[in-house]
Amino acid sequence: MAESEIRGLKQQQEKLHHVSEHLANERTMLAWIRTAIAVMTFGVGINRFSLFLVEFGKVVPGGRTENAMANAHAEQLGIGLVGLGLLVMLGGTWHYLHVARTIDDESFRPARIGIVLTALAVLALGGTSLVWLLW
């Protein structure tokens, strides 16, 4: 092989590597989108089901009024989850654009602190949910 052919193959390989990095970034963005949709859908489901339970308690003879307070909290939880889904979507979009820019600039560094903070936030929310469920 001539030296010019080897140089051409190396340039082609670098270009393909650059493309694969952007494709991986797009797959990550799609995961953010799926997560945001799932969280918002769960929030809407909780909200609608709590409204159903409130109405059902009014229709059934001897319906308990204390369930209305629990259902009001469930309704607020549903609204909060929709808001959280929107925040996840905004965070995912910001992350995608930031990573795409750093890939193009060839200055990408993994954001370890972001991963750790996200994991700690999920642990805190999970722990709070567990305490709430057991209480």
The model carries a pTM of: 0.73
Distance CA 132, CA 123 (A): 14
Q: What is the DSSP string of 54-72?
A: HHHHHHSTT--SHHHHHHH
Phi, psi of 80 (to 5 degrees): -60, -40
Angle between helices 3-59 and 66-104 (to 10 degrees): 170
pLDDT digits (tens, 9 = 90+) for 25-56: 999 999 999 999 999 999 999 888 887 777 77
pLDDT digits (tens, 9 = 90+) for 73-105: 788 888 999 999 999 999 999 999 999 999 999
